[in-house]
Amino acid sequence: MPEGPSVRKFHHLVSPFVGQQVVKTGGSSQKLNPASFQSLWLQDTQVHGKKLFLRFDPDEELGSLGNISLPESVEEGERKEEAQDQKQASGPSSQKISQQSSQSLELVAPSGESGVEHLRGDMPAGGAERWLQVSFGLFGSIWVNEFSRAKKANKRGDWRDPTPRLVLYFGGGGFLAFYNCQMSWSSSPVVRPTSDILSEKFDRGQALEALGQEQPVCYTLLDQRYFSGLGNIIKNEALYRAGIHPLSLGSLLSPQRLEALVDHVVQFSADWLQGKFQGRQQHTHIYQKEQCPEGHQLRREAFGPPGGFQRLTWWCPQCQPRLPPDEQAQVRLS
Catalytic residue IDs: 2-3, 50, 311
- Identify the H or E element spanning 11: helix 4-14
DSSP E strands in the chain: the ranges are 22-26, 41-48, 51-57, 131-135, 141-144, 166-170, 175-179, 182-186, 299-303, 311-315
Q: For residues 202 and 105, what is the distance between their CA atoms, to the nearest angstrom? A: 41
Q: For residues 257 and 28, what is the distance between their CA atoms, to the nearest angstrom? A: 48
> In which region does residue 288 sit, left (phi positive, over 0), alpha (psi from -120 to 50) or beta (all else)?
left
- Residue type present at position 322: R
- Residue type present at position 318: Q
3-state secondary structure 180-210: CCEEEEECCCCCCHHHECCCCCCCHHHHHHH
